[in-house]
Amino acid sequence: MASVTQHQIQKFHEDGFLVLEQFFSAEECDSMRSQIQRIVAEMEVPPHCRTAFSTREEEQLQAQGSSDYFLTSGDKIRFFFEKGVLDEKGNFLIPKEKSVSKIGHALHAYDPVFKQITHSPKVQELGRKLGLERPVVVQSMYIFKQPGIGGEVTPHQDATFLHTEPLGRILGFWIALEDATQENGCLWFIPGSHTNGITRRMVRAASGASTCVEFVGSEPAYDDKQFIPLPISKGGLILIHGEVVHKSELNSSESSRHAFTFHVMEAKGTTWSKENWLQPTPELPFPSLYT
């Protein structure tokens, strides 16, 4: 992998994203894919996915179960499914390895393969080139984007979900483990859209509320014509500024679009919002990117 140039870093600051082709080797990508296959093979279906609905009350308990499962996933390795892949008893309607939407949010901390990738020397070197002084890893996810059913991700800014004071301290690392194309749901960005702040935040709801999180503010209507697609080959890395607007379309193709992604925060002079869904825990304080 070639070293990142000052010109590329300048481009990142202008656009809010940077595409680095062939950042990881095919072998590194394949090691992540085979590791995730092992994790899926051993996966237990979460209890909240197994309840048969009958009453409103049970449905509310189910919703609460799934929201608790999500809210407490920051320091665990947990499973999130595509819609309609499980029956009401929690049995798979399609093969289980084709049913998972994503796995998060602490692969970087608890799985040796993903930990090694997250803290790999070239990632640390890139952090230093970007001028990060005290970067910490806040979360990670393996995203499957399953063929035919991998759902669209509507336009959003990562800082909506991972809020800091001041803004501009969140950086996403998005690694293509297979070629990402317009057909199978590559990322799309609005260049330069990271300079206008954020208009919407997802916050933890007050205790006793019916949902675990709520949105404050509103999402502006984005002009579809402003988005540009960023297809990228297997092993490529996309750096994503926390406030850049991006999306991906439904995967209507016959090939999956696996990706491993993690988020880093510059901790120096930064406050992590107490209202974020994701919180560091005594078991897992945010680990330093630099080892």
List the CATH number of the domain containing 71: 2.60.120.620
- Residue 18 within a domain: yes
Structure confidence at residue 16 as a pLDDT band (50, 70, 90): very high
- Residue 40 within a domain: yes
Please report the pLDDT score of residue 1 as a whole number: 59
Q: How far apart are CA 98 and CA 115, in angstroms?
A: 24
- Residue 126 within a domain: yes
Q: What percent of the chain has pLDDT over 70?
A: 99
Q: Is 186 helix (H, G, I), strand (E, B) or coil?
A: coil
Average pLDDT over residues 23-43: 97
Please report the pLDDT score of residue 88 as a whole number: 82
- Residue 250 within a domain: yes
Cβ neighbours of residue 213 closer than 8 Å, sequence gap 6 or more = 67, 71, 202, 203, 204, 205, 277
pTM above threshold 0.85: yes
Indicate the range of 36-50, 129-143, 183-197 predicted with least confidence: 36-50
- Residue 278 within a domain: no
- Residue 202 within a domain: yes
Decide if pLDDT at 55 tops 70.
Answer: yes
Beta strands in 131-276 (DSSP E): 135-143, 153-156, 164-165, 170-176, 187-189, 200-204, 213-217, 228-230, 237-241, 246-248, 259-266, 271-272
Task: For residue 55, give the amino acid letter.
Answer: T
Average pLDDT over residues 21-39: 98
Q: How far apart are CA 143 and CA 260, in angstroms?
A: 6
**HSE (side-chain half, CA atoms, 13 Å) at 43:** 28
Tens of pLDDT, residues 244-254:
999 999 999 99
Structural domain total, the chain = 1
- Residue 277 within a domain: no
Tens of pLDDT, residues 205-224:
887 777 789 999 998 999 99
Q: What percent of the chain has pLDDT over 90?
A: 81
Indicate the range of 41-50, 72-81, 104-113, 120-129 predicted with least confidence: 41-50
Please report the pLDDT score of residue 219 as a whole number: 86
Cβ neighbours of residue 178 closer than 8 Å, sequence gap 6 or more = 29, 184, 234, 255, 256, 257, 258
Q: How far apart are CA 168 and CA 166, in angstroms?
A: 7
Indicate the range of 21-30, 59-68, 113-122, 178-187 predicted with least confidence: 59-68
Q: Kindly report the average pLDDT of the chain as a whole number.
A: 94
Q: Which domain holds residue 198?
A: 6-272
